[in-house]
Amino acid sequence: MKKENFAAYIFLLPWLVGFFLLTIQPIVSSFYLSLTEYDTVSDPYFIGFENYEYMFVDDYRFWEALKVTFFFVAVGVPFKLGFALAIALWLNQGVQGLSLYRAVFYLPSLLGSSVAVGILWRQVFHTDGLVNYLLAFLGISGPSWLSDPDTSIYTVILLTIWQFGSPMLIFLAGLRQIPHDLYEASSIDGASKFRQFWKITLPLLAPVIFFNLVLQTIDAFKTFNNVFIISGGNGSPVDSLLFYTLYLYQQGFEFFRMGYASALAWVLLIIISIFTAIYFYTSKYWVYYESEK
Amino acid sequence: MKQNRLLKHLYLAIASLVMLYPLLWMLSSSFKPESIIFNDLSLWPSQFTFENYPNGWQALRIDFSIFYKNSAIVAVFSVIGNLISCAFTAYAFARLEFNFKRFWFALMMMTLMLPYHVVLIPQYILFLKLGWVNTYYPLIVPKFLAQEAFFIFLMVQFFKQLPRELDESAMMDGCSVFRIFFKIIVPLSIPAFGTAAIFSFYWTWEDFFGPLIYLNDIEKYTVPLALRAFVSAEDLSFYGESFAMSILSLIPVFIFFIIFQRFIIHGIAMSGIKG
Amino acid sequence: MSNLTRRNFGKLALATSVLALTGANSTKAAGRIRHFWWGNKERDKRTYATIDAFNAAFSDSTVVGETLGWRDYWPKMATQVAGKNMADVIQMDYRYIAEYARRGAIKSLNSHLDSRAIDMSDFAQFSFDGGTVDGQVYGVNIGTNSQFVPYDKTLLDQLGLTFDPYKWNWDEFVKISREVTKNTPDGIYGSVNNGGQEVWLDIWLRQKNKALYHENGDLAFDQKDIEEYWSFWVDCQETGVSWPATEEAASTSMAKSGIPTKKTAFDSYWTNQIVAIQKLTDHQIEMATIPHNPGDSPGMYYKCGQFISMSRDTQDESLSAKYMNFFIRDPRAVGILKLERGVPGTKEMRDFLKPGYSREEAIMVEYLEGIEGRTKKLPPVPPKGAGEIDRAFERYWEGVAFGKTKIASAAKSFYREAERIRRKQG
């Protein structure tokens, strides 16, 4: 294919300038810091790969954090995406008052992870909160969801799912870009709704599904705000909410080990990159772009 | 058929209620006196008070109108910056062929993956050297230089969906890539722009970490930073006022959302053109 | 009042002359300093008012206030420390002061104390103890606190339970708590559970003439102490003395704590927090000491809740000292700040404020004066890594409280980890 180097680099210029001026230096510094002992007050002290060694050999909380985070990603991402897609499809069928429902479903996401959400969520899942109040009608005496180490992670997963508005909106935008006449043509051919979904909607939506999958996975691995406000910042009870970035934050900003925190960050970066690489690699088989046909 | 539709609305209504309950609880709590907020589960306050709103509005040294003004400045510039600069970058990645494309793309994706807490300190030092601390530049300038990879990736995915034939036929007519970008790609990607605008506005509006680190004077605080001043872990918290101000802070984002979601719907009309 | 004002003006004159001498050294941004503190709505209002008063009194200099909540304060501080851009005057907490001092982020104040630019000549000895690290004073006490047990008098009166709040012992604590749990509807208990509270462990140890740390930072307790302490609190949660582990874990903020939720009769807080607790409930709340057995010392101590310190990056040392002095003792400042951060350092200031006390403030001061002479010396400043050990203590306790680990093995693991953290910090 013909190269359009000149034009392409003109378009890329703002990004390149920003990248070299503002972004690359902090990234490189953080890698260097991962090879040092750095308490943020004194100058960093070079120690080679000791941080990484300590992480893999001695630090059981690192493994604990990985466990919690992987579980969260494995459960949270599919559910959130499934939910967002289902609702988007449903809304896209043309309901009266569509924009009202869309707004309603998006509202919780607008709340983001402000302090208010933390308080709110604790209230809903408290021993005598709404959830247990409803369960009581069914004769079930519910646990103290958030403060019981066996159930606390699910409340965070639920909070994440509850805020499914962003992927939903992206799905909706994607659905809106599918040309109408494709459906009309296939209706004339007598295709069933299910077949239309399988043959038209899914393939044409694939790039957007792919986008949401990649982004939600990255986001889930980096989950911080929601857990920070829910767990009181320390991953309790019994480390059941010790998400990876929470641990990283604690090491860096609470225990004055910014060098170690940087090492943790780079390990996470590698983990996320592997997942993303796998997604991109497999996307050849299931994501087709109109522009590449 | 009609019954079916009713049923659907019923389901939607129930789902809406579940989605909205926590919000409604917050709304009702903002009208309750402090002492009953956590002891009163019902959505209808047993005791009404309107004081949380005026008190919250003026609770800090500066009243909230300043914080709203500050937030609006940051958010509006961020939206403009993100839309323009990310569309440019995304166009190159999505539709042009050039050397080192994969390399740059991988780098761009990498910036999405690194937890921001560890770049915070080096970045702070960088901005400090530029003399940008305690100004809005650290919050706005990166947006004009397409440093929010999320939006680049989002637009790449949408741009790639537009049929090649569009560019090719335009090219035959002697259009330059720049013309193609402005005359074909941009108009056909309104839903993507609408989505990006909504996210961009909302993320800057609710972001507190950036403002927290870079803004020192309370006169420069944004709304979420001011909101956080209400709730302190160890000391007295003002929940009622905090809820009242949280509710108010949702209004601008919601209005923005209502306006811009039209552009998502807009997609229908335009995508009649088929490649 | 007039007496205090006059005295103070003398001191200020002195301070100004010191300023004149050292002023020559100060760098570019002289005449303008930043004061950074963590706070809340109420504290912010008072602190800004104090700053305004200072700026009005000394028109040749400007103090700029910066404030955040406790949780946001520390990451921002860490960032500014790394950027060598700290505010000139900062608020410090007991648990971090040693780390900041030993890492060189805050300045020794000894020369300013000697010259009386910061005048603490009439402050009690314990005001210095807390802010002293390795023989140098790094923080000026801006509020004295102590531990106490808030109790719900309304509830205890209803149940007809009484005790001597200054002399009660552990058996009484257990007995009364059990009575409360027994004679109230389900879901109401005697006490919160302090098994994971390092402060209570500290006092428990001190009642036995032990401590958390030695002067040199080594651990001053052993595994056995931890086992005993945890056994007591496990018993408490199993025999209806305290509420269960899930409730304890759920009480992450004051509003969710035992007394404000009316779920317990006894709670655990620092004295300056009585005002806030009382605001969260319509029951009458009173103050008691931590229980101690007859003959034992109560083990409590006066703690400097918060300090005001001078940062390494200060642009104008003498103005900072002048402002700090104003902040801790000028009646214009004291009269605005009142007891919000804790009880001020001298009797004179307390008398000055007395007429304006609310009920809670009055009982707070009464309590602090009531335990005078029965408190012990403040423990040495926590060593590096103390914060991490505290977190580990809380974590292992949660494991025990939820029945995930046995007391003995948890105590062993905790002790080993605490030793390892200390070794790592050197």
Question: Hey, what CATH topology would domain B61-270 get?
Answer: MetI-like fold (1.10.3720)
A238 contacts chain C (CB < 8 A): yes
Q: What's the confidence (pLDDT) of residue B272? A: 40
Best interface-test mutation with A: which of B82, B137, B157, B184 has the largest number of A CBs within 10 A? Answer: B157
* Shortest distance, CA B139 to any CA of chain A (angstroms): 12
- The per-residue DSSP string of chain B comes to -HHHHHHHHHHHHHHHHHHHHHHHHHHHHTTS-GGGTTT---SS-SS---THHHHHHTSSSS-HHHHHHHHHHHHHHHHHHHHHHHHHHHHHHHH---TTHHHHHHHHHHHHHS-HHHHHHHHHHHHHHTT-TTSSHHHHHHHHTT--HHHHHHHHHHHTTS-HHHHHHHHHTT--HHHHIIIIIHHHTHHHHHHHHHHHHHHHHH--HHHHHH--SGGG--HHHHHHTT--SSS---HHHHHHHHHHHHHHHHHHHHHHHHHHHTHHHHTT---
User: Residue A46 in contact with residue B133, Cβ under 8 Å?
Assistant: no
Whether the predicted pLDDT of C9 surpasses 50: no
Residue of C302, C301, C295 lying closest to C208 (CA atoms)? C295
To the nearest whole number, what is the mean pLDDT of chain C?
86
A44 contacts chain C (CB < 8 A): no
C41 contacts chain B (CB < 8 A): yes
Best interface-test mutation with A: which of C71, C74, C395, C413 has the largest number of A CBs within 10 A? Answer: C395
Residue of C411, C328, C338, C422 lying closest to C127 (CA atoms)? C328
Domain borders along chain B are 1-49, 61-270
* Shortest distance, CA C164 to any CA of chain A (angstroms): 33
DSSP-derived pairing of the beta strands C89-93 and C32-38? parallel
- Please give the C-alpha separations between residue C4 and each of A241, B136, C9, C264, C349, in angstroms, as whole numbers: 53, 45, 9, 43, 8
Residues B50, B32: Cα–Cα separation, whole Å: 8
Residues B86, A149: Cα–Cα separation, whole Å: 42
C67 contacts chain B (CB < 8 A): yes
Task: Determine, for residues A114 and B206 on separate chains, whether the beta-carbon distance falls below 8 Å.
Answer: yes
Whether the predicted pLDDT of A132 surpasses 60: yes
Residues paired with C285 in a beta bridge: C152
What chain B residue is nearest to C269 in terms of C-alpha separation? B234
Q: What's the confidence (pLDDT) of residue A113? A: 66
Q: What's the confidence (pLDDT) of residue C26? A: 33
pLDDT-derived band at C411, boundaries 50, 70, 90: very high
- Please give the C-alpha separations between residue A189 and each of A178, A192, C361, C370, in angstroms, as whole numbers: 18, 9, 82, 91
A30 contacts chain C (CB < 8 A): no
**Mean pLDDT throughout C80-101?**
90
Which of A11, A170, A173 is facing B88, going by the closest CB pair? A11
Tell me the per-residue pLDDT of B118-161, one tens digit each, with 9 for 90 and over.
898 899 999 999 999 999 999 999 999 999 999 999 999 989 98
- Please give the C-alpha separations between residue B33 and each of B41, B46, C249, C331, in angstroms, as whole numbers: 13, 10, 26, 35
Task: Determine, for residues C68 and B212 on separate chains, whether the beta-carbon distance falls below 8 Å.
Answer: yes
User: Residue B71 in contact with residue B257, Cβ under 8 Å?
Assistant: no
The amino acid at residue B264 is I
Task: Determine, for residues A238 and C104 on separate chains, whether the beta-carbon distance falls below 8 Å.
Answer: no
Residues B45, B28: Cα–Cα separation, whole Å: 6
Question: Which tokens go with A95?
Answer: 């309901």
* Shortest distance, CA B90 to any CA of chain C (angstroms): 33
- Chain B contacts of C65, Cβ < 8 Å? 61, 218
Question: Hey, what CATH topology would domain A60-288 get?
Answer: MetI-like fold (1.10.3720)
B128 contacts chain A (CB < 8 A): no
What chain B residue is nearest to C282 in terms of C-alpha separation? B35
Q: What's the confidence (pLDDT) of residue A293? A: 64
Q: What's the confidence (pLDDT) of residue B273? A: 42
Residues paired with C64 in a beta bridge: C34
Count other Cβ atoms within 10 Å, centred on residue C108.
17
- Chain A contacts of C81, Cβ < 8 Å? 40-41
To the nearest whole number, what is the mean pLDDT of chain A?
88
User: Residue C227 in contact with residue C408, Cβ under 8 Å?
Assistant: yes
ipTM value for the complex: 0.89
Tell me the per-residue pLDDT of C252-284, one tens digit each, with 9 for 90 and over.
778 788 998 899 999 999 898 898 888 888 899
Residues paired with C38 in a beta bridge: C68
Whether the predicted pLDDT of B109 surpasses 80: yes
The CATH code of the domain at C2-143+304-358 is 3.40.190.10
Best interface-test mutation with C: which of B67, B134, B213, B235 has the largest number of C CBs within 10 A? Answer: B235
Tell me the per-residue pLDDT of C390-406, one tens digit each, with 9 for 90 and over.
989 999 999 999 998 99
Residues C148, C153: Cα–Cα separation, whole Å: 15
Task: Determine, for residues A252 and B118 on separate chains, whether the beta-carbon distance falls below 8 Å.
Answer: yes
Best interface-test mutation with B: which of A114, A117, A269 has the largest number of B CBs within 10 A? Answer: A114
Task: Determine, for residues B236 and C82 on separate chains, whether the beta-carbon distance falls below 8 Å.
Answer: no
Beta strands in C138-219 (DSSP E): 140-141, 144-145, 147-152, 189-191
Return the ∠ at Cα B248 (arms to B247 and B249), rounded to 5°: 90
Q: What's the confidence (pLDDT) of residue B266? A: 58
Count other Cβ atoms within 10 Å, centred on residue C93.
18
- Chain A contacts of B113, Cβ < 8 Å? 218, 221-222, 268-269, 272-273, 276
Question: Which tokens go with C347?
Answer: 């009797």
pLDDT-derived band at C28, boundaries 50, 70, 90: very low
Does domain C147-301+377-425 fall into CATH 3.40.190.10? yes
Question: Which residues from B are below 8 Å from C when comparing CB atoms?
Answer: 34-35, 37-39, 59-61, 120-121, 124-125, 128, 133, 208, 212-213, 216-218, 228-239, 241
Task: Determine, for residues C79 and B213 on separate chains, whether the beta-carbon distance falls below 8 Å.
Answer: yes
Tell me the per-residue pLDDT of B17-53, one tens digit each, with 9 for 90 and over.
888 888 888 899 899 887 777 766 677 888 888 888 9
Residues paired with C149 in a beta bridge: C288
Task: Determine, for residues B113 and A291 on separate chains, whether the beta-carbon distance falls below 8 Å.
Answer: no
Chain A residues 45-84 within an 8 A CB cutoff of chain B = none
Domain borders along chain C are 2-143+304-358, 147-301+377-425
DSSP-derived pairing of the beta strands C136-137 and C147-152? unpaired
Q: What's the confidence (pLDDT) of residue C5? A: 41
Residue of B111, B62, B70 lying closest to B214 (CA atoms)? B70
Give the neighbours of chain C: at least 3 Cβ pairs within 8 Å: A, B
Chain B residues 208-227 within an 8 A CB cutoff of chain A = 208, 224, 227
Residues B133, B144: Cα–Cα separation, whole Å: 18
Tell me the per-residue pLDDT of A142-151, one tens digit each, with 9 for 90 and over.
777 887 888 8
Tell me the per-residue pLDDT of C33-59, one tens digit each, with 9 for 90 and over.
999 998 877 888 899 999 999 999 998
Q: What's the confidence (pLDDT) of residue B2? A: 67
Q: Is A19 helix (H, G, I), strand (E, B) or coil?
A: helix
Q: What percent of chain B has pLDDT over 70?
A: 91
C199: buried, middle or exposed (CB in 10 Å: 19+, 13-18, 0-12)?
Answer: middle
The amino acid at residue C111 is S
Q: Which carries the bigger pLDDT value, residue B111 or residue A138?
A: B111
If you count residue pairs, one on A and one on B, with CB atoms under 8 Å apart, how many are there?
Answer: 296
Residues C65, C43: Cα–Cα separation, whole Å: 12
Q: Which carries the bigger pLDDT value, residue A118 or residue B234?
A: A118
Backbone φ and ψ of A287, nearest 5°: -110, 115
The conformation of residue C426, written as its DSSP 8-state character, comes to -
Q: Give the 3-state secondary structure percentages of chain C, helix then strand then coil, rounded to 5.
A: 50, 15, 35
- Chain B contacts of A92, Cβ < 8 Å? none
Among B178-192, C27-41, C228-242, C398-412, the least confident range: C27-41
Task: Determine, for residues C254 and B125 on separate chains, whether the beta-carbon distance falls below 8 Å.
Answer: no
- The per-residue DSSP string of A254-268 comes to ISS-HHHHHHHHHHH
Whether the predicted pLDDT of B233 surpasses 80: no
Of A17-31, B166-180, C10-24, C249-263, the range with the highest mean pLDDT is A17-31
Best interface-test mutation with A: which of C246, C253, C280, C400 has the largest number of A CBs within 10 A? Answer: C246
Which of C104, C247, C388 is facing A42, going by the closest CB pair? C104
Task: Determine, for residues B96 and A268 on separate chains, whether the beta-carbon distance falls below 8 Å.
Answer: no
Q: What's the confidence (pLDDT) of residue C344? A: 81
Residue of C84, C56, C11 lying closest to C315 (CA atoms)? C84
* Shortest distance, CA A98 to any CA of chain C (angstroms): 39
Whether the predicted pLDDT of C74 surpasses 70: yes
**Who contacts A30 (Cβ-Cβ below 8 Å, separation ≥6)?**
A262, A265, A266, B114, B118, B119, B122
- Chain B contacts of C261, Cβ < 8 Å? 38-39
